[in-house]
Amino acid sequence: MLTAIAILDELLVAHAPVLGRDFPAYRNHTYRVANLCVAQSSTDPEQVNKIAIAAAFHDMGIWTDGTFDYLPPSGRLATNYLDQLRRTEWTREISAMILEHHKISRYRGDPNWLVEPFRRSDWVDVTHGLRTFGLPRSLLRDIFSTWPSAGFHKKLVRLELARLRTHPWNPLPMMRL
């Protein structure tokens, strides 16, 4: 299990002021998703860095843009970061990881990209292991105990209820078929 990913930690600390008191909850969520994705894909350092960047930014628009329609702003944050990093060759894949991570059905784009394992990882985390996609329960227990929710799942419920009150016909704008 990965307990320290330098690029993920760097990005999270850089966004700590905007995350505020949600920092521990979001950090733990990103580490759970990253570990679940690595378990389904690769420990290759380049792949882990792509996973870490996508994990850091995938929900960040909730805080940076104050919206529950956060996929586009989250994607823009990642694209801007990749431009600064001079890793524009990763932009399409990482953008797809972010924009498709709430897709209900399987991602059918490039099978060599990390989009599908990342999508499954977020589903495993958001359902707190009700969906496993074949991952061993012992691994899930280890990940969830190392990186507890710290209020992340409660935050999601509060955001969903607030969105439902203001947008009853579009309560989950991030969902994709």
The predicted model scores a pTM of 0.95
- Listed by start position, the domains of the chain span 6-166
Q: Which residue shows structure tokens 């882990």?
A: 48
pLDDT reported for residue 12: 98
pLDDT above 70 covers what percent of the chain? Answer: 98
pLDDT reported for residue 165: 87
Min mean pLDDT across 18-27, 68-77, 157-166 is at 157-166
DSSP state of 8: H
pLDDT reported for residue 164: 84
- How large is the average pLDDT for residues 112-139? 96
First-to-last CA distance in the chain?
31
pLDDT reported for residue 162: 84
DSSP secondary structure letters along 86-120: T-GGGHHHHHHHHHTTTBSSPP-S-TTSSHHHHHH
Per-residue pLDDT tens digits for 60-73:
999 999 988 899 99
pLDDT higher than threshold 80 for residue 137: yes
Q: Is 176 helix (H, G, I), strand (E, B) or coil?
A: strand
DSSP state of 136: -
pLDDT reported for residue 100: 95
pLDDT reported for residue 27: 98
pLDDT reported for residue 57: 98
CATH architecture for segment(s) 6-166: Orthogonal Bundle (1.10)
Residues written for the chain: 177
CA–CA gap between residue 46 and residue 35 (Å, rounded): 15
